[in-house]
Amino acid sequence: MLSDTKKSILRKSPATLCVALSVALFFPPVLHSAGEPSYVEEIRRYVAEDKVYLLENIRQKVILPAEKLVIDALLSEDGPQAVTLYQKQLTQYPDPVLDQISTSRIAAYSLAKKSVMPLPRVTISEPSRKPNALGPIPEYVKQPVALRKEKSKQEMGIDTPTQPAQTKKAFALQCGSFKSRENAETLAKKISRQLAASVIPQGEFYKVILKTHYGSKEEAVAAAKKIPFETVVAQGL
């Protein structure tokens, strides 16, 4: 005969087994991610505060596939590519917190895409030419004024000095990236009390960039360490 204690354990075991099987079937990423560090709270907070640009600081530390997909999507400036990443996270690596972010971003992109109206086509008609009473127009007169002047200098033996190409300083420090222009301008005003900053529209985002530019990434990183607030190095702005 079985004791009352053993009978109680046997009655509870099927229920425990059912719960374990349900988790394995419907939440497989949860089981595989046991023991791995999660940054889901940082992702949720930066999105809520409209500071997704700060995700660049933890991008290399993230291990979990769901978090990597969402971070890559949030930092992407290519709308269709970001939507693809969000959809992949939803279907392959579901997560209660990240699902909300992916779903809302896909909906926002779809709404923005529908609101863009195509520009009307403008047809420029060729002006009617009246016959020239003095005869055909010489070829050199038809040429642009600047080209005629250049040719005249060459015929007179005057060398035209070539101006050296200016080196573009392609690196800057980014203080924020917002979908709201108002939020971007608010941050730019606060930062401008210490350092000159401007708002640059890029795609569907408004980026707050310090006006000082640098010739290399190393110079920008060294300058960022001396600034009393968080920044990330941006290129091509």
Domains of the chain: 36-113 (no CATH), 171-235 (3.30.70.1070)
Q: Dihedral (C-alpha) 97, 72, 212, 214: value to the nearest 10 degrees?
A: 150
Q: Is the pLDDT of residue 37 over 80?
A: yes
DSSP three-state, residue 173: strand
Using an 8 Å Cβ cutoff, are 218 and 198 in contact? no
Mean pLDDT, all residues of the chain: 75
pLDDT confidence band for 72 (50 / 70 / 90) = very high
| Strand 205-214 versus strand 171-178 pairing type | antiparallel
CA dist 52 and 177 (Å) reads 7
- Write the DSSP assignment of 198-236 as a string of letters: EEEEETTEEEEEEEEEESSHHHHHHHHTTSSS--EEEE-
CA dist 170 and 236 (Å) reads 5
Angle ∠(183,39,176) on CA atoms, nearest 5: 20
Question: pTM for this one?
Answer: 0.43
**What is the Rg, in whole angstroms, of the alpha carbon atoms belonging to the chain?**
31
Amino acid in position 55: L
Q: Is the pLDDT of residue 36 over 60?
A: yes
Model confidence over 113-157: pLDDT tens digits? 776 555 555 555 555 555 555 555 555 545 555 555 566 555 555
Using an 8 Å Cβ cutoff, are 217 and 172 in contact? no
63's tokens: 């291990």
